[in-house]
Structure 1
């Protein structure tokens, strides 16, 4: 059944060709991303002569109420956000029965490409400063009752050492006053765990293995105890954080220790 679905998706989810014009305004220049339910294009806006990004709900998903709601949810979340480190939402439109939305194009690579293709490295101090900037962004989201739920290195652009957060396809908006405390805490801790994994990724950029046998990060990485403490709490090895302000305070302590 799964293979039949994949064959179906292969035939119906073909991306738009270069040069296709959407909404009498946006010319497709390239495909820049493919997710489980969306295809992302780099387009030129004829009205402003600027490059923008358009996300399309996959053809195989547009008749699914759940997938359509997820697509609408991403748009509703982006509409609420106004932060220079998050792409700005512009508009939603339909074209030939397909659903699209438009957002800012930010000309830079994601963190995954910077690490694995450009071999960018982070010292322990640089890693903590980078995480601190990312924590500011996540704090901004949480203050708006938004939980990203998909914080991964492909979903973080890196521009002049600053993180740009993208892909809100799995994000949730849960108003604390109307929701159980346990659900809100679960959403927070998922974001915190993801932050821990991102911190590990950037810390490992300066690691050179000396043994063929893989060891736990606690043995492979030589870190200050304050950094270890942050990692263990983010990854729930020790008592997990309950609020992002706790993370900020521990980060300031760790950065001060390294200065």
Structure 2
């Protein structure tokens, strides 16, 4: 077991650990106070047990490199990265709010069909921002979306991939066609995840009267445009190849 840094510990001479706010398979996340500004910061630490793994260290460094490339108000801002006694850390902005999973399952937040589609509009804007920079999140899930004043913020870039940097993550350089195919697959993984999130939102207003589990196409009563959008996002029918196509169908569904 990896022991988290103790509360009240001061990291890098300026960040006082307040508490642990999350743990993952390869990272520990702390809420800290920056002593120079009295502002809250989030610090992510690579688990000490993962330091011996070159692959895990590279993933952690890749996450830092990706965050350095991003400058969006709805994505955490990277402040700095540092090491302490061999442990690796990076510091990012703190986003105050609850993640979408907690909002749905603990606070019983609901979304009707129109609200679900409008929420997806905001998420798609974030995905489009990433894809235009050749960055693919690959882990779009409701725990990785924070709601602040009803506005979605995207977090956790630990599984993110960069299309332009794929050569460094292959033992042999891929051909141009293989690379394009891999990039399309990464895009469509993000699109599939958007479809899953949309389904979660739509199910918040669904109450089952049947004990038998049915597919969403039978359980949910949706407008044709929403069904068409979902089937393409989830790859049931022809999958989308870019965010512009999704945006067009999303806005068409909203007009119904």
TM over 0.5: yes
**Superposition misfits of 4+ residues, deviation over 4 angstroms:** 176-179
Question: CA RMSD for the aligned pairs?
Answer: 1.2
Match of 2:246 in 1: 247
Match of 1:32 in 2: 21
Match of 1:210 in 2: 209
Relative to the length of structure 1, the TM-score reads: 0.93
SS at match of 1:60: helix
| Deviation of the 1:177 alpha carbon | 11
Partners in 2 of 1:149 and 1:165 — Cα distance? 12
- Which of 6, 9, 17 is matched with 2:6 structurally? 17
- Which of 44, 66, 72 is matched with 1:55 structurally? 44
Deviation string, structure 1 residues 148-204 (Cα, Å, up to 9, x no partner): 000000000011221100000000111299852101100100000000000000000
Partners in 1 of 2:72 and 2:35 — Cα distance? 25
Partners in 2 of 1:165 and 1:153 — Cα distance? 10
- Which of 128, 135, 140 is matched with 1:151 structurally? 140
SS at match of 2:79: strand
Match of 2:63 in 1: 74
- Which of 156, 160, 166 is matched with 2:155 structurally? 166
Match of 2:224 in 1: 225
Partners in 2 of 1:100 and 1:47 — Cα distance? 18
* Structure 1 unaligned spans of 5+: 1-9
| Deviation of the 1:17 alpha carbon | 1.2
Partners in 2 of 1:116 and 1:44 — Cα distance? 29
- Residue 126, structure 1, aligned to residue 115, structure 2: yes
Match of 1:102 in 2: 91
| Deviation of the 1:229 alpha carbon | 0.4
1:167-182 superposed matches below 5 A: 167-175=156-164, 180-182=179-181
Partners in 2 of 1:20 and 1:198 — Cα distance? 37
Deviation string, structure 1 residues 37-88 (Cα, Å, up to 9, x no partner): 1000000000111000000000000111100000000000000000000000
SS at match of 1:157: strand
Partners in 1 of 2:69 and 2:161 — Cα distance? 12
* Contact 1:32/1:42 (<8 A) preserved: yes
* Contact 1:176/1:184 (<8 A) preserved: no
SS at match of 1:206: coil
| Deviation of the 1:16 alpha carbon | 1.1
SS at match of 2:49: coil
Relative to the length of structure 2, the TM-score reads: 0.94
- Residue 42, structure 1, aligned to residue 19, structure 2: no
Partners in 2 of 1:101 and 1:93 — Cα distance? 6
Partners in 2 of 1:204 and 1:177 — Cα distance? 37
| Deviation of the 1:226 alpha carbon | 0.2
